[in-house]
Homo-oligomer: A and B are copies of this chain.
Amino acid sequence: MSKLIKPRTLKGFRDYLPNAMIARETLIDTARSVYRSYGFSPIDTPALEYTEILLGKGGDETDKQLYRFTDHGDRDVALRFDLTIPLARFAAQHYHDLGTPFKRYHIGTVWRGENTQRGRYREFMQCDFDTIGTESNTSDIETLLVIHDLMERIGFERFTIRVNNRLVLNGVLEKQGLTDQTVGVLRALDKLPKIGRDKVITEMVEHVGATAEQASAVLDLAELTGDSATMLASVENMLEGSESGQLGIARLRELFAACSHVGIPDGRIELDLSIARGLDYYTGTIYETFLGDKPEIGSVCSGGRYDNLAGLFTNQKLPGVGASLGLDRLLAAMEMLDMVESASTPAEIFIPQFDAQRLGDYLRLARDLRLAGFTVEVFPEARNLGKQLKYADRKGHKLAVIAGEDEFANDTWQVKNLQVRGEQANVASSELVGHLSKLLRPEN
């Protein structure tokens, strides 16, 4: 026998075994279903792109992390590292076929040669939705509603979507004469939750060149708390005379009014004037989403409005707004919060092969139950029943439907609850579907 090749995966890459993959598919299905319910359409783009399409779009570090090589036709190609650049390329290329506004979702794998010591993976999935080609605040509001419905449909009750608008921050900087120092000021501001007010002010003064007074004014804005109406009234005063600041306030007001009008529960949407994510990219509304029971893991769904998506590929100006669900982070949190089913089979019902001579009957029952909407696995071998049930136990089927000589003679099936020891019943064939429905679909 020749030498075996060691079966192994690359560092930073991983296999998904059934139980992990079932949880992942469920989460992706939920995201798709919510995106679709708002009229976002699916698209897909190639994993490989010309390197020039991807290069220089995500900063130096991203460039270094590119999986880049020369293909069979001597083309310089690379694996996509996010879904935003491909969307920009796609929108520029197909602009005339798509029309605007254009609403798309894209769920796909991306690759980055990350340092795995930070626990990062080199292959992961992104789950984005965007509305492009419109500046309307309707789309900003809708983005927020999508995030809200998504979190609710995934199964969270306690979560907060924090909202801000870069125009408000810009207004304050404008009023304070700090427009030229925007990047430095916002970078310092980003550290507020970690290092506190005083150190942020010190950094603004020492490294950004603001006066203590200017820095204080920025922090006064960022540290405003209270209900959104009161906060916005205060900000309105602070920003008197700043046109962009007033526009930001008006858009935030409309957003909070709409959320309240459509019935989003109080407390789920919060105005947080300190968030400034995506320094160079976002230009309007900004979103971050925190779990009430796991705030420490950071934002699980983030996004915002941008002025121009595809300026590198087309002269057509494409403003837009969107967000991205942090699939892996969310799955990790759901596991910690015990929100993930542990089954490693999608089948609810297990039919052991008690009597090999009756294989046709087991297969026919399985078929009938599938037509009635159940998921059903028939064990492929007529091993001893204990071993077959041990298999089912390990996989996580909910019920076993068993028949041997006696049951066939009486036209009954034994239904065994695999999750509650000792709970079982003999059920007439004619009543089987009803009985299983009661056990598996009690809500109906």
0 or 1 for each of A91-108: is its CB under 8 Å from B? (1 = yes):
011100111010110000
Known: A41-B18, A136-B381, A139-B380. A346 touches B5 (CB 8 A): no
Give the residue of B7, B346, B391 whose beta carbon is less than 8 angstroms from that of A41.
Answer: B346
0 or 1 for each of A359-377: is its CB under 8 Å from B? (1 = yes):
1110110110010001111
B136 engages A101 (CB within 8 Å):
no
Give the residue of B5, B17, B376 whose beta carbon is less than 8 angstroms from that of A53.
Answer: B5
Known: A7-B93, A99-B394. A16 touches B43 (CB 8 A): yes
In the docked arrangement, what's the CA distance between A322 and B111, Å? Answer: 30
Binding site for B on A (CB under 8 A): 1, 4-11, 13-18, 21-22, 24-25, 32, 36-50, 52-53, 65, 67, 69-73, 75, 77, 79, 89-90, 92-94, 97-99, 101, 103-104, 109, 111, 113, 123, 131, 134, 136, 138-139, 141-142, 145, 149, 254, 257-258, 261-263, 310, 312-315, 344-347, 350, 353, 359-361, 363-364, 366-367, 370, 374-381, 391, 394-395, 397
A347 engages B10 (CB within 8 Å):
no
B8 engages A123 (CB within 8 Å):
no
Known: A39-B345, A42-B18, A262-B367. A13 touches B145 (CB 8 A): no
Min CB distance A346 to B, Å, is 4
In the docked arrangement, what's the CA distance between A79 and B359, Å? Answer: 41
B17 engages A98 (CB within 8 Å):
yes
A380 engages B46 (CB within 8 Å):
no
Give the residue of B75, B109, B138 whose beta carbon is less than 8 angstroms from that of A380.
Answer: B138
B380 engages A5 (CB within 8 Å):
no
B370 engages A37 (CB within 8 Å):
yes
Closest to A136 in B: B380
In the docked arrangement, what's the CA distance between A391 and B10, Å? Answer: 47
A7: chain B residues at CB < 8 Å are 53, 89-90, 92-93, 310, 313-314
Q: Which 9 A-B pairs have the closest CB atoms?
A: A39-B377, A39-B347, A69-B69, A18-B41, A261-B360, A13-B46, A7-B93, A36-B346, A7-B92
Min CB distance A270 to B, Å, is 19
Give the residue of B44, B113, B145 whose beta carbon is less than 8 angstroms from that of A71.
Answer: B113
A70: chain B residues at CB < 8 Å are 69
The DSSP consensus for interface residues of chain A is: mixed
B378 engages A138 (CB within 8 Å):
yes
Give the residue of B15, B38, B93, B310 whose beta carbon is less than 8 angstroms from that of A44.
Answer: B15
In the docked arrangement, what's the CA distance between A48 and B131, Å? Answer: 32
A sample of 14 cross-chain residue pairs with beta-carbon separation below 8 angstroms, ordered by A number, consists of A4-B314, A7-B313, A7-B314, A15-B46, A16-B43, A18-B43, A24-B44, A37-B347, A39-B376, A69-B70, A101-B379, A101-B391, A142-B380, A145-B367
Min CB distance A397 to B, Å, is 8
In the docked arrangement, what's the CA distance between A386 and B124, Å? Answer: 43
A375: chain B residues at CB < 8 Å are 36-39
In the docked arrangement, what's the CA distance between A292 and B181, Å? Answer: 70
Known: A15-B94, A39-B375, A94-B17. A363 touches B261 (CB 8 A): yes
A134: chain B residues at CB < 8 Å are 380-381
A72 engages B376 (CB within 8 Å):
no
Known: A7-B93, A69-B69. A44 touches B18 (CB 8 A): no
Give the residue of B18, B97, B364, B378 whose beta carbon is less than 8 angstroms from that of A17.
Answer: B97
Closest to A353 in B: B138
